[in-house]
Each structure stands twice: as C-alpha cells, then as structure tokens.
Amino acid sequence: MIKPALITLITFFVFPFHAFACTIFTVKTEHTTYYCNHEDYWEYDTRLWITPGKDGKYGGIFYGFDDWRQASLRESFGKKPDLMVDNFFPDGGMNEKGLSWDWVANSTVWGSDPNKPEYRKSHVFHDIIQQYSTVDEAIAFIDKHNINGVGQTLMSDNFGTSAIIYKQNGKLIVERSKKNYQILGYGERTSASAMLEMSGNIDIKQIAKILKASQQGDINQYSTINDPKNKIVYLFHFQNFDEFIKIDMQKEFELGARSYSIPYLFSRIKVQPPTIVRNAGSVSVTFKWQGKPESIYKLIYSTDQKFDEYEAVNCGDFPAHFSNYAFLGFCIPACLLFAGIKRKRKHILRLSLLVCLLLNNSCTIKQRPEYVRYKQTLPKFETEHFSKTIDHLQPGTTYYWKIAAHPKGNDHFLSETFAHSFVAE
C-alpha cells in the first residue's frame, strides 16, 4: 500500500492545472477581514459541506470536489479510520470561530525536519480548522510536525491576522500581511493586486469585482467570500459574480450535518438593463433577466437602497419536464491507475508520476488533453429570457432592484443578485 506521504504527493502533483494556481486573498476593512478564494480546476462536480461542531471540535463550512480522491483515500486509509476526514476531502473552508484556510499548488515542496515527528493523518488543515481558532495557533501546530505536501496556504482569522504559510526543506516560512490585504496565487498576476491596493473600506459587491478580475475563465468552478465576524459565507459559481448564495453558518448548524452539490444551487442569473416607458404622471418599467428555465424567480424592488422596505413579485414556475445535469467524465492520468499498487511495484508509480509531471509542464493549459476533454464534456447552461412589467412607478425616483431564485432540486438555499439601480424617467 502506498504511504500517506506518497498519496499526498500524488494528490497535489498530478493535477496539471496546479501550474495555474488558484487565487486566495484577504482584505481588511474597518469591521472585519474578508477571506476570498477561487477554486480553479477542470472538474465540475463541486460540493459544499456543513458540519456542526461535536466532541469538542469546531463546526465549519467546507467546499471542494466530490471526485476520485474520495474513493482513493477511503481505499488507502479504510483500515485506519483516524486517517480519514469523515467521508470527504475538503479543499478549503471556515470554522465557527472565523479561522479560514485554503491553498494554492505551486512548486514549493515542504520537505522534512529530522528532529520533528511525522504528521500521520491525511488532511492536516481540516484537523487544524476543527481544533484551533487563530492563525498563530495553526502556525504553532504546523511548526511542531513534518507535514508532507507541496504548495502554500493562506490563513486568516476573526482577529484580523492573515499569513501565507508553507515549509521549505522542513523549515517553517510565515509571511504575515503588512498591508490591508494579502494575495496568493494566479491573481497576483492580474489587476486584482492593484484593485486591492486601492480597496479601502470596500463592501461585498466591490470584493466580487476583484474576484471577477482574478478568475481564470472556464476552469473557475466556484468562488467564496468568508466573513469571519458575522460567520457568513458568500458563494459564487462558475464565473458568475452577480448571483450569489449567502450562507449563515449558525443557522445552518441548527439543521445538522449536510452536503450539497454546488452547481444545483444556482440559477445562472444574468440581469439586463430594464426598459423604461414614461406615461402620463407615472412610469412603466420592464425588468429583464436570463436564468435557468426550471427555476422560480422573485423580482424585488425598492426606493430604499438597503431594502428595509420593498415590493416583491413572484415570476415563473417549474415546467413539467426537468433535465438533470450530465456531470462530467474525466481523463485520469495513467499514474493514478496504480493507486492500490503494492510495494514491489512502487518504481512503476514513481516513473508514471514523473511522466505526468513532464507532460503537464510541456504545454499550455488549453493544449492539454485534460482541458480539451473538459471543454468537450462541460454541461451546457440552458437559460431563458424572463421579464416583468411594473406600472405606476414614480417619475424622477431612483429604484433599486434585484432577482432572487429558487432552482428546482434545491429545497433549501435561495440565490440572489446584487442590487442594480435606475432612475424612473
């Protein structure tokens, strides 16, 4: 059986996209430090997990992939339950104390220190997020162990501390934030860095614009904004940074442990400019948007920017027929076929892993067979045009409006768009 260290290396190294690392950034405002993340990868079956605290462990909201790693890890660690993370393998998340983590894969190899014990479990950061509430506590834990892996992690907490954490040759490296923001990964090469430099005391809508500027196109599967003070997670899906789901951690914990397929939670809403017609003494406005045909929509409009008072109109209904997504099949590199390899054949695995690494670094992302297959099998988002006309609006008045949606198959979350405005004239 492959050692956990080798499994870790396979998990981190064989994905070609990791040469195009994800993006993580924090941004500090007057009231909190937001933790923001992109998950960039060519696997579409993403999941959200909600796990209330129990047995002295903190609860949290986690996200990642429901992919081959689940079965592989269960097979490898099945006889050692302490090495498993329940029955999932999260890529990032935030606990109920506001400690957030995610990571980017790059060429950083952690290595080991002969004077420190090996960390023998399968997922160090999930263990940290269940036990600790601050970045400094996490750093102290990491410094005490040899942890096999590559890449770098960015962590932040409810006290405004953020740090990039990794090891080189077994020695701990901690890069603490010296500004009101910190950024790691692909987004460093985009306009996101300049936007963060000028950010000031920004809000969620402005942060979504920075997310949009730092995403990598059609491999951007989901994006998140963690608000540690209010224990809120804002979830976005597949490069749409107008529609989001607002997840209240404490309310979700009351409902128990659950998981959701992220693609099924969204309606692919795209808001369009309204048509305004001036009548005698009043204004008629036709609100327009696109979205999944099977979703139920609600138009919300108000003269109050905060929507403390508003009008709401239900729009649309479920059709008789509903087509489920055909989730993707993926090309798994040949080296993964040896996941259950025996000790005497490990040299084959090492050779296959080397071949994978050489192939992955020999061409651009759009030339790679995994990307070509991903594009060919990507589900098509079927959307329709919707509209709702509201008469007798007041001339010369500024109105704010947004769309909320309830997709069929999602019996819990509602998504919504950011507010848009117009003057009725």
> pLDDT tens across 384-419, in order?
999 999 999 999 999 999 999 988 767 689 999 999
What pLDDT band is residue 365 in, cutting at 50, 70 and 90?
A: low
pTM metric for this prediction: 0.83
Distance (Å) of CA 132 to CA 36, 66, 84, 99, 172: 20, 26, 19, 8, 18
Query: What pLDDT, on the 0 to 100 scale, is given for residue 65?
Result: 84
- Among the residue ranges 6-20, 59-73, 294-308, 384-398, the one predicted with the least confidence is 6-20
149 has a pLDDT exceeding 90: no
Calculate ∠ Cα 249-255-261, nearest 5°: 75
Q: Which of 53-62, 78-87, 332-341 has the lowest mean pLDDT?
A: 332-341
The reported pLDDT for the residue numbered 71 is 59
* HEC profile of the chain: CCCHHHHHHHHHHCCHHHHCCCEEEEEECCCCEEEEEEEECCCCCEEEEEECCECCECCEEEEEECCHHHHHHHHHHCCCHHHCCCCCCEEEEEECCCCEEEEEEEEEECCCCCCCCECCCCCHHHHHHHHCCCHHHHHHHHHCCECCCEEEEEEECCCCCEEEEEEECCEEEEEECCCCEEEEEHHHHCCHHHHHHCCCCCCHHHHHHHHHHHCCHHHEEEEEEEECCCCEEEEEECCEEEEEEEEEHHHHHCCCCEEEEHHHHCCCCEEEEEEEEEECCEEEEEEEEEECCCCEEEEEEECCCCCCCCEEEEECCCCCCCCCCCCCCCCCCHHHHHCCCCHHHHHHHHHHHHHHHHHHCCCCHHHCHHHHHHHHHCCCCCCEEEEEEEEEECCCEEEEEEEEEECCCCCCCCEEECCEEEEEC
| Residue 343, pLDDT above cutoff 60 | no
CA–CA–CA angle 276, 282, 286 (5° rounding): 30
Percent of the chain exceeding pLDDT 70 equals 77
Strand bridging mode 150-156 / 220-227: unpaired
Identify the bridge partners of residue 57 per DSSP, sorted by sequence position. 54
Q: pLDDT tens digit string along 233-279?
A: 999 999 999 999 999 999 999 999 998 989 999 999 999 999 999 88
- Give pLDDT, residue 51: 92
Q: Poorest-confidence range of 29-43, 97-111, 324-338?
A: 324-338
As given in the structure block, the two tokens for residue 297 are: 């929509």
- pLDDT tens for each residue of 77-107: 554 444 344 556 788 999 999 999 999 988 8
Give the residue-averaged pLDDT of 2-12. 40
What span, in angstroms and rounded, lies between the C-alpha atoms of 356 and 368?
12
Please, which residues bridge with residue 220 across strands?
A: 40
> Could you tell me the pLDDT band of residue 228, with boundaries at 50, 70 and 90?
very high
pLDDT, average across residues 349-359: 40
Residue 70: per-residue pLDDT: 57
Q: From residue 216, how far is each of 38, 48, 175, 223, 371 by CA, in Å? A: 9, 21, 25, 11, 13
Rounded to 5 degrees, φ, ψ at 30 are -65, -30
Query: At residue 18, does pLDDT exceed 60?
Result: no
**Which domains are seen in the chain, by residue range?**
4-265 (3.60.60.10), 270-325+380-424 (2.60.40.10)
Nearest by Cα to 37 from 275, 195, 234, 244: 234
CA 127 vs CA 41, 103, 124, 275, 305: distances in Å: 24, 15, 5, 53, 42
Predicted local confidence at residue 366, as pLDDT: 67
Residue 172 clears pLDDT 60, i.e. is over it: yes
pLDDT range class, residue 62, cuts 50, 70, 90 = very high
Query: Region 130-138: what's the mean pLDDT?
Result: 96
CB 126 within 8 Å of CB 53: no
Q: How many residues does the chain have?
A: 425
Strands of the sheet containing 384-393, edge to edge, are 270-279, 282-291, 384-393
pLDDT score at 393: 95
For the packed helices 346-360 and 4-13, what is the interaxial angle rounded to 10 degrees?
20
Which range among 68-82, 114-128, 280-294 shows the weakest confidence by mean pLDDT?
68-82
Confidence of residue 171 (pLDDT cuts 50, 70, 90): very high
